[in-house]
């Protein structure tokens, strides 16, 4: 009998719950509400931790905010009546003259070589400017960059000569151009008003033959395939050597001279033009982009086919 009671007591204890007092019940209920709430708050903080700003951060200063919301591109308003900004002698040298005067292409005196510059310096500053403006030997007028003003060319001559043993004075800046009076626009208006009367088409214009427009349309289409940026870069930089075939460079339009280079492929030619090869400095001594160099090579290759 005692053994039976002992078994019943153990069975009752096994099925007894963990909550034995009212206090334990209250604590259990409170925890059942608080634990999920804390879990949700912690997850929310974890998601937003990347956007939180620590103490002492400058991320919310007006400068930082303006930097984040500024537009990708911007533009500057330029006053058309503002005085012209001229390039310095160094800028002209780096953009135009370096193609020949850095490597001594076609007998050009290397910048910094006093012995090579001495005979030119001896002729005088004015004579050197005259030759630079009008061209001499293999050097084209203005180094092949007609967009340069006479003042900018003179600055470049002084810069290179002074780097090579001379002590020429920087040329004086040209006087600012006087602003045009209001009478000029009025005259232009009068001409524009009279133009329609003078330009009235004749009523009996003879029609052109149908075959001519078709025949002439092919030429503009072929020309349109050539990027105009190539011609522009050639006339500004490449012309200095390729117009005369200086230092072994293939002369513009010479099919035989260009044939070996064309055989290597356009990509190889562009790569050599960008990185420099032989006597030709990288990018021909200019600041041209890869796309402009590609266009210039295509322009010269097109003329040699």
Q: What is the chain's pLDDT, residue by residue, as a tens digit (305 residues)? A: 455 555 555 555 555 567 778 888 888 888 888 888 989 998 888 876 555 555 555 666 777 777 767 655 555 565 667 778 888 989 988 888 887 888 877 788 999 999 999 999 999 989 998 988 988 887 888 887 888 889 898 998 989 999 989 889 888 888 776 554 444 444 444 434 444 444 444 444 444 444 444 444 444 444 456 788 888 888 877 877 887 777 778 888 888 988 988 899 989 999 888 888 877 778 877 778 888 888 889 999 888 88
**How is residue 250 written in tokens?**
């293939």
The Cβ of residue 8 has, within 10 Å, a number of other Cβ atoms equal to 9
Per-residue burial over 101-123, b = 16 or more CB atoms within 10 Å of its CB, e = otherwise: bbbebbebbbbeeeebbeebbee
3-state secondary structure of 136: strand
Q: Is residue 180 part of a domain?
A: no
Output phi, psi for 265, to 5 deg. Answer: 100, 150
The answer to whether residues 99 and 108 touch, using CB atoms and an 8 Å cutoff, is no
Q: Is residue 212 part of a domain?
A: no
**How is residue 154 written in tokens?**
């003179």
Q: How many domains does the chain have?
A: 2
Among residues 162, 194, 212, which one ends one of the domains? 162
The enclosing domain of 114 has a CATH number of 1.10.760.10
Residue identified by tokens 């070589």 is: 113
pTM: predicted TM-score of the whole model, two decimal places: 0.44
pLDDT at 55: 53
Among residues 146, 162, 178, which one ends one of the domains? 162
Q: SS3 helix, strand, coil % of the chain, rounded to 5?
A: 60, 0, 35
Range of the domain at 245: 226-303
The answer to whether residues 142 and 148 touch, using CB atoms and an 8 Å cutoff, is yes
Q: Is residue 141 part of a domain?
A: yes
Among residues 120, 137, 162, which one ends one of the domains? 162
Q: Is residue 17 part of a domain?
A: no
Element (H, E) at 205: none
**Torsion angle defined by CA atoms of residues 149, 153, 159 and 162, in that order, rounded to the nearest 10 degrees:** -140
Q: Is residue 258 part of a domain?
A: yes
pLDDT at 115: 92
**How is residue 62 written in tokens?**
């007006």
Q: Is residue 156 part of a domain?
A: yes
- Please, where are the H alpha helices in 15-149? 22-48, 62-69, 89-92, 98-101, 114-123, 125-134
Distance CA 239, CA 219 (A): 24
Q: Is residue 283 part of a domain?
A: yes
pLDDT at 216: 45
Q: Is residue 268 part of a domain?
A: yes
The Cβ of residue 261 has, within 10 Å, a number of other Cβ atoms equal to 19
């Amino acid at each position: 009998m005692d053994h039976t009671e002992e078994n019943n007591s153990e069975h009752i204890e096994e099925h007894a719950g963990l909550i034995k007092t009212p206090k334990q019940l209250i604590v259990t209920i409170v925890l059942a509400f608080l634990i999920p709430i804390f879990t949700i708050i912690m997850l929310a903080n974890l998601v937003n931790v990347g956007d939180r700003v620590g103490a002492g951060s400058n991320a919310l200063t007006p400068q930082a905010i303006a930097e984040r919301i500024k537009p990708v591109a911007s533009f500057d308003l330029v006053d058309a009546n503002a005085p012209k900004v001229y390039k310095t002698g160094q800028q002209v040298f780096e953009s135009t003259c370096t193609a020949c005067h850095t490597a001594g292409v076609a007998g050009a005196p290397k910048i910094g070589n006093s012995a090579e510059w001495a005979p030119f310096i001896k002729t005088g500053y004015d004579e050197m400017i005259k030759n630079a403006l009008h061209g001499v030997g293999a050097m084209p007028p203005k180094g092949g960059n007609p967009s340069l003003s006479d003042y900018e060319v003179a600055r470049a001559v002084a810069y290179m000569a002074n780097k090579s043993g001379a002590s020429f004075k920087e040329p004086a800046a040209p006087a600012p151009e006087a602003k045009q009076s209001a009478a000029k626009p009025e005259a232009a208006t009068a001409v524009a008003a009279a133009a329609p009367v003078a330009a009235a088409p004749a009523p009996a214009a003879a029609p052109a033959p149908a075959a001519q427009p078709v025949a002439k349309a092919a030429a503009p289409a072929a020309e349109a395939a050539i990027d105009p940026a190539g011609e522009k870069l050639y006339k500004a930089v490449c012309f200095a050597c390729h117009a005369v075939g200086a230092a072994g460079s293939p002369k513009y339009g010479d099919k035989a001279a260009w044939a070996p280079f064309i055989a290597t492929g356009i990509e190889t030619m562009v790569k050599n033009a960008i990185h420099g090869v032989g006597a030709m400095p990288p990018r021909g001594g200019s600041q041209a982009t890869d796309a402009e160099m590609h266009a210039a090579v295509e322009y010269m290759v097109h003329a040699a086919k």
